[in-house]
Structure 1
Amino acid sequence: MLKFEDFKPITLNDIGIIKEHQINYPPVHSDNSFTNMFCWNDYAAYRYLMVEDSLIIISTIEGVHSVRGPFGSENTDLFLKTVNLAAEIGGEYAYQIFDVKTREKFSRIFPDAKMNPDRDFFDYIYKTSDLKDLPGKKYLTIRKHLNKFRNKCRYTIESITEENLYEVEDFLIRWCEWKECSKTKVFGYEKDAAVSSVKNFVKLGLSGLIIRVEDNISAISIFEELNTDTAIVHFEKGLPDCQGNYKGINNETAKVLSDRYEFINRESDLGLSGLRDAKIRYHPCSFAEVHYVKAEDLIKVIDL
């Protein structure tokens, strides 16, 4: 039997345990990367439990728990215990499913349970070569905007390093002032997560790029490996000082990642219509989907 009290809050000290596990069982969705769980901890209060070679995760948002996993080798008994825990402590999003294998297993064992797609948290997956080369008619408008940026703005590209991290943190604060983060809760949490990634940049093993215009940071990206064929771009931000800088940082990031990764995960749109339009405009080749099952629906199909 699993209990909530068995789960340990995720801290930076747990990076070795979780990342070592994810070498053997790599995540496919950004929300299961250690960086996201650590940096968004103020929002979702992540906890974890290792059972043999399996990882189980609980997130708690505004006092409501969600359970996911187990991630590891095949273990039906542990799977059933995890689902039971979700039914006991979970709410609207009691049990969350982030991969096809788990979705198929859940459907097989609980064919009458209702799974709900959580479209707002589908990750957008792109071919790295598409973001790098912007080929064909479907990218014509983006190429035009990118060319305008290159012709209009005198800019330089550099890597994020320990020496310029303080400038990146200052840039994020200015970005948040421009976006009026205090008026939109999700932007406030995103700013906190992004600043956390910068403060712990080296320990988290992150990489990043800067676009400077007239010596000032105009746009940044922060990224890392998600799995062997996919890089994940955690944050991609730009100020309104030079139109097209978002397209510039996107393209430059793809160039850096193209030699090693076939795909780029640019995370979800959080249900924000403007962000959704922007991500769709880049023509994702697939999505890393998320589904959830409500506690009330779990209770109907399992014996507690």
Structure 2
Amino acid sequence: MMLSLEDFKPVMLSDRAFFESHYAFFPQTHSSNTFTNMVCWNHFTPYRYAYVNGNVIISCTTEGVTRFHPPIGPRNPELMRELIRLALDVSDETPIELIDPDTAQWLQELDPELALMPDRNNFEYVYRASDLAELPGKKYQKIRSHLNRFRKNCSSTVEPVTPGNLKEVIKFLKKWSEWKGCRKNLVLASEVGAARYAVEHFNELPLQGLLIRVDSEIGAITLYERLNTDTALIHFEKGLPDCEGIYKAINEETAAVLVSEVEYINRESDLGVGGLREAKLRYHPHHMIEVYSLKRPNCASGVRGPFRCAQED
């Protein structure tokens, strides 16, 4: 077996059935491997994948640097060795990322010398759906207070995102983009691009959504999907500043819909953004989806386990 970049092909909208079939056997817990995430963000971070020996291997290229995700499928030490060799050949100091804890433990058993580091910025926040829907007890008192103020001050209605209001949702995203000054912020602009792609292909993706109207105009939206048997995943959540508390309202309304379907809601990572981290912690996550990164080994040390300095073999 010799894994190469030629084995990888672009993730395309037509690949949905393939990924859904594979993930039925290997359910995902982190948002980054979801088909929706990959096709929506392709314009900013092109995703490619290889299907080798029953495993899906995903690569992602950001600002010219290609990194890999660990194989998704039956454990295969030889394939893992090949992936590490390829990743060390073409990537930077973090050749493989988004390694789940079980795979990280397996890798350490295969080679205790591998440098695996927790990637806190990409840990994802998972909440009990009932907590977000009911906001129970003292710890949610401030949030309930903001929510009550929103409902008192704003005349609002809630409705699902449907083919009939998708054009309005696109107009809303344009308005949100202008308010945020996205033309001057590459990351925000790419996020709006991803959300717009999701809306434009809403019927071709496994998405559902809600929106809040304030005085008949859309003031907030959310787009989500079922991640696995017990968890829903929030992909996009956007609100305009016209009505204080609207983010809390869309969060609570979404949970109220999902609480009868799933036990947990994954609200993705904070990417190390301080304000975002504080906001996510304020909602008291039930648990985090932890991930690790493989760091490039110091081959000059002469340490050569089965996976060390694979590019020199």
Is the 8 Å Cα contact of residues 230 and 263 (structure 1) preserved in structure 2? Answer: yes
C-alpha separation in 2, matches of 1:216 and 1:295: 51
1:229 and 1:263 in contact (8 A); partners too: yes
Partner of 1:186: 187
Q: Distance in 2 between matches of 1:149 and 1:230?
A: 28
Structure 1 position 285 matched with structure 2 position 286 = yes
Please give the alpha-carbon distance, in whole angstroms, between the structure 2 residues aligned to 1:102 and 1:87. Answer: 18
Aligned to 1:67: 68
- Whether the 8 Å CA contact 1:230–1:265 is kept in 2: the answer is yes
2:52 alignment partner in structure 1: 51
Q: 1:111 to 1:237 in 2, by over 3 A?
A: same
- The residue that corresponds to 1:31 in the other structure is 32
Structure 1 residues 193 and 273: alpha-carbon distance in aligned structure 2, compared to 1, 3 A threshold: same
Deviations 1:92-139 (A, max 9, x none): 321113312111111112212222222222111111111011111110
> What is the CA-CA distance between 1:52 and the residue it aligns to?
3.3
Aligned: 1:303 with 2:310: yes
More moved, 44-53 vs 231-240: 44-53
Flag as ranges the 4+ runs of structure 1 deviating above 4 A: 296-300
Query: What is the DSSP-based 3-state SS (H/G/I as helix, E as strand, rest coil) of the residue aligned with 1:293?
Result: strand
CA contact (8 A) 1:208 1:223 kept: yes
Query: CA 1:244–1:298 in 2, change beyond 3 Å: closer, same or farther?
Result: farther
* TM-fit CA distance, 1:184: 2.1
Partner of 2:43: helix, strand, or coil? Answer: helix
One-letter identity of the residue aligned with 1:168: V
Q: Does residue 86 of the first structure (1) align with residue 87 of the second (2)?
A: yes
Q: What is the CA–CA distance in structure 2 between the aligned matches of 1:298 and 1:231, rounded to whole Å?
A: 42
Report which of the two structures shows the higher radius of gyration computed on alpha carbons: 2
Q: After TM superposition, give the deviation of residue 85 of structure 1 in Å.
A: 1.7
Structure 1 stretches lacking a partner, 5+ long: none
Q: TM-score, normalised by structure 1?
A: 0.96
Trace 1:1-304 onto structure 2 (pairs within 5 A). Answer: 1-297=2-298, 301-304=308-311
Q: Name the amino acid aligned to 1:33.
A: T
C-alpha deviation, 1:297, in angstroms = 4.9
Q: Aligned partner of 1:195: which letter?
A: R
TM-score (norm 2): 0.94
SS of corresponding position for 1:284:
coil
2: CA distance, partners of 1:127 / 1:256: 13
- Cα deviation for residue 89 of structure 1 reads 1.4
1:298: Cα distance to partner? 8.0
Q: Is the 8 A contact 2:224 2:234 kept in 1?
A: yes
**CA separation of 1:221 and 1:104: change in aligned 2, threshold 3 A:** same
Separation in structure 2 between the aligned mates of residue 173 and residue 298 of structure 1, nearest angstrom: 49
Cα shift readout 1:263-290 (whole Å, capped 9, x = no counterpart): 1000111222221111111111111122
Residue pair 2:88, 2:310 contacting (<8 A) in 1 also: no
1:241-263 per-position Cα deviation (integer Å, ceiling 9, x unaligned): 11111000000000111111111
Equivalent residue of 2:38, what SS? Answer: helix
Distance 1:53 1:166 in 2: 40
Structure 1 vs Structure 2: percent identity of aligned residues? 47
